Each structure stands twice: as structure tokens, then as C-alpha cells.
Structure 1
């Protein structure tokens, strides 16, 4: 249950990648669209304009991808997500580039962009947007894999260390498999082993939660954290809540209510392979 860095983007390090990549894309586009390239002031000016335009288009494309992460996450279906994301980001990016190109052309020459901008340049740029989406998709799944690996490593480290409690002047290590769970007793947090022995702790239940392997223990509510072996199942009750059913025991209640907001995460924890 140790918490990872949740502030890190799901696409890290996309910003660094595209800050470097976009000038290279502009250079390739420049090579493909201009016949006679000479290093002069015109080249520097047009290359700079193209690169800045690319940065602006990428900025808003990235905003759209992050918006879709909220409204239509990959977990709801990658085919559906990509079916919306690919055309939406391409259309948005091409619109921004077209608008800025027309605006720049009008300011510089008093007329719109030439026809070959729409028949050649935009087609090439459109292909780049598929490449950009592929990078974002790859970064997303790479970061998901990395988080899973880090979580597994943390869980193994926690399990190896056991749970340390103070008994008098001694520090004792309790094996996680011998702990039935934790609960609040008045103002104290209590660790309960499978044999019924209680250990009163100085830490809050929240701090205890961060010291436990998340695949083995789950915090059901403000009062209880239980070992997986204590739980026999659950049933749905009113308003999206669930009632967690416990194996017959003399240590905890026979069932414990889990709130509507916590119910989905409990179901995923209880049925990890579904």
C-alpha cells in the first residue's frame, strides 16, 4: 500500500521528447516541401515559424489527449479510445496548423497560403500525427508496465521486511501472513494476529496502511484494514455500497460495509485477474 508518485504524467517524458522532436519534424517537412534549400535568412525565418507552429499544434493535441484520459480512459476500451483520439487529434492539429499558416501568409504577403500547402504539406503533416499518437500510446503502456514492476518490487520488499511492532522495550517483527488485520479501538490503532493477540500501535491507520503490501491487505473503511484470508466474499447493497463478508471468526464482525466510492477498488483488489 505504499504510495507511488501519482503526480507524474502517464506519458512521461513526453514533453522533453517533443521539445526535441518537433524541430526535427520541421526539418524533415522542410526538406520534403522545398525544392531549392539555401541557408539564408529566409530558411531561418520559415523554419522557425514552422517549428513554433508545430509546438502550438502539439500543445493543444496533448491537451486533447489528456482530456480523453478523463472522459474516455484506455481501460474502457483501447479500440474505442483510438477510434476517437486518432481522428480528433489529427483534425485539431491540422486545423491549428492551417489557421496559423493562413494567418502568417496573410500578414507576410497579404494573401492566403498557396494551394500546394493543402495538397502536399497537410498530407505529410497528417501522417506525422499518426506518428505522434503512436508515441503517446507507447509511452502510456510503457509507464503502466513500469508502475506495475515498481509496485511488485515494493510489495516484495514490504513482505520481506514484515510488520514491526513495539512490545515493551522490544521491537518485534510480525509475519504478514499471521496478521488478521488492523482496526481502531477508541483512540488506538490495533494490530490483530490470527491467534487473537493484539498489539497497540503508535501510528494512525493511514500510516499503517502505507506499511502494508497492497495485494494482501485492503482498507475497507476508516476503522478496518483486513488480510485477504479473512474475507470470503461480498454482496451488493443499496446506493452502490457493498457488504464485505468475512470467514467465521471471533476477531472481527461477520460483515463490514464498504462505501460506494471505495467499492470499485475493493472489487478490483478482491478479483485481481478479472
Structure 2
């Protein structure tokens, strides 16, 4: 799940959205600009040209927004980013529209675009760039929230049967069944895996104990928690204490003492049917 999300644009689904939205923007511009609109071949042609110009301007603006993501991320100051981005995308977007309009006008009429294009049309089009920036800002924070939710859900699923541990720059799952036991080591808790690897956890042994399944793990003393499969037997000692014998391994002592106060609970855990 995490891999799929990370490969998706932070502005998804902006491409599909604007491919649909730009023709509607062109239609609204026509409605606001022209009072007498006649449905004919000329209208279809000019509408198609204006829509293509809109696609071109949006494409340039989109690349500019992605460029800002690298050079001036939102984390460096959202107000500064929005102010600069809004000004830059509006100026460049209107410049693209103007250049394309002049190009089409010279091809079709042999002269520059009419004055009302710069006094009326361009002003209305400029307002839409505020709208475009607002959509991209909304998509950014929506996808940020979505990724955070999916990451939390993924971690919950991973923790349901194990720990999420950091190995280098990756987070991996360490299943409970792959843990021989855990022990305190200065400021860390060490999880010893069946493969011989050590994983360092930031939480204390007490916090770790609360996250372990009680039927599989038992805390023998202040330093050690072991998996049931590690325990071979136990024997009584003086003053009600017991000595728990573990399978021979290079990671834990062969015998670990259990205090008098914890001995009864260990016996009940180790021999639940007695």
C-alpha cells in the first residue's frame, strides 16, 4: 500500500480533473464575454482553439507548480509559497494565452488580437488562475492527509502481529513469531530475532511488554522478556523464587531468575491447564 501511494503524484488526479474542467472554463468564459452567441461551425472552431490554448497554459502552470515543490516547498512557509506561486503562475499562464492568441489571430486575420481581448478577456482568464491554484492547494493537502491516513493504517496492520522497526531508511515488520525475546540495553530495547539479527526499539521494555501478546511472551524480570518457545523448564529456588531454563542460544542466558512476586503468575502462564 505504501509503495503504491508514494508512486502517485501528490496532486492526483489533477490531470483527469483539468482535462474535464478546462472545456467548462472555456464555456463559462464565452458566456461572460459574449452576449450574442450563435451555435455554428465558427463557434465550434474558436471554442476548440481556446480550449487547446487553455490546455497549453495549464500544462505550463502545472510544470511551474511542480518546480516550486522542489525549490520552495510548502514546509518552508505556506504564505510565501502561495504568494509567489500565485503571481508567477498568473503572469506566465496569461503570457502563454496571449502569445497563442496573437499567433492564431495573425494566422486567421493577419493582424493582432483585438483590444477587448486584453481589456476584458484576459482579465476574466486571469481570475481562473486563482481558481487553479486553489485546486492544486486543495489536492496537495488532501493527498497529504490521505497518505498519512494510509501510513497509519499500514502501521496498524503491521503492528497487529509484530513490530514496525527501522532498518536503514526503511520501516519493516518484525513478526512476533520471529522474536526469541527482548531485553533492556541502556536507552534502548533490543528485539532478538530467530535469524540472529538485533533490532533496536526506542520504547522502554515496559511499553513493549504492553504491546506483546500475553499468551506468547512473558516478562521474567526487569531486563528480559522471552517467547514461550524459548522456555524449556523452571525449577524452584529458596524464598519462593524460580529459575527459568531457556533453550541454549548465544543471545540469552541459559537460566534467568524470576522473583517471588512474579513466580505465581509465571507458573499460571506456563502451565495454564493446571
Specify the TM-score bucket, using the shorter chain as the normaliser. 0.5 to 0.7
Task: Give runs of ≥4 in structure 1 deviating > 6 Å.
Answer: none
Q: CA deviation at 1:5?
A: 2.9
Alignment of 1:119 with 2:91, yes or no, is: no
For 1:20 and 1:180, locate their aligned partners in 2 and report how far apart those are by CA, in whole Å: 59
For 1:42 and 1:34, locate their aligned partners in 2 and report how far apart those are by CA, in whole Å: 14
Match of 1:22 in 2: 22
| 3-state DSSP of counterpart to 1:112 | coil
In the superposition, relative to structure 1, how do residues 59 and 198 fare at CA in structure 2: closer, same or farther (>3 Å)? closer
For 2:162 and 2:183, locate their aligned partners in 1 and report how far apart those are by CA, in whole Å: 14
In the superposition, relative to structure 1, how do residues 82 and 175 fare at CA in structure 2: closer, same or farther (>3 Å)? farther
- CA deviation string 1:4-28 (max 9, x = no partner): 5322100000000000000000000
Match of 2:241 in 1: none
Match of 2:129 in 1: 129
Q: CA deviation at 1:173?
A: 2.7
Match of 1:75 in 2: 75
| 3-state DSSP of counterpart to 1:8 | coil
In terms of Rg, which structure is larger? 2
The answer (yes or no) to whether the contact 1:180–1:227 under 8 Å persists in 2 is no
| 3-state DSSP of counterpart to 1:226 | strand
1:1-274 paired onto structure 2 within 5 Å = 3-162=3-162, 173-174=176-177, 179=182, 192-193=190-191, 198-200=193-195, 225-229=199-203
The answer (yes or no) to whether the contact 1:57–1:96 under 8 Å persists in 2 is yes
| 3-state DSSP of counterpart to 2:194 | strand
| 3-state DSSP of counterpart to 2:6 | coil
For 1:225 and 1:78, locate their aligned partners in 2 and report how far apart those are by CA, in whole Å: 38
Question: What is the Cα-based RMSD across aligned positions, in Å?
Answer: 2.9
In the superposition, relative to structure 1, how do residues 180 and 43 fare at CA in structure 2: closer, same or farther (>3 Å)? farther
- Structure showing greater relative contact order (alpha-carbon pairs closer than 8 Å, 6 or more residues apart): 1
In the superposition, relative to structure 1, how do residues 82 and 225 fare at CA in structure 2: closer, same or farther (>3 Å)? farther
| 3-state DSSP of counterpart to 1:5 | helix
For structure 2, the residue ranges without an aligned partner over 5 or more in a row are 164-174, 205-222, 225-250, 252-274
The answer (yes or no) to whether the contact 2:178–2:194 under 8 Å persists in 1 is no
For 2:8 and 2:127, locate their aligned partners in 1 and report how far apart those are by CA, in whole Å: 29
In the superposition, relative to structure 1, how do residues 179 and 56 fare at CA in structure 2: closer, same or farther (>3 Å)? farther
The answer (yes or no) to whether the contact 1:180–1:226 under 8 Å persists in 2 is no
For 2:17 and 2:115, locate their aligned partners in 1 and report how far apart those are by CA, in whole Å: 32
TM-score (norm: length of structure 1): 0.64
Match of 1:211 in 2: none
The answer (yes or no) to whether the contact 2:2–2:150 under 8 Å persists in 1 is no
For 1:174 and 1:4, locate their aligned partners in 2 and report how far apart those are by CA, in whole Å: 27
Match of 2:234 in 1: none
The answer (yes or no) to whether the contact 2:26–2:50 under 8 Å persists in 1 is yes
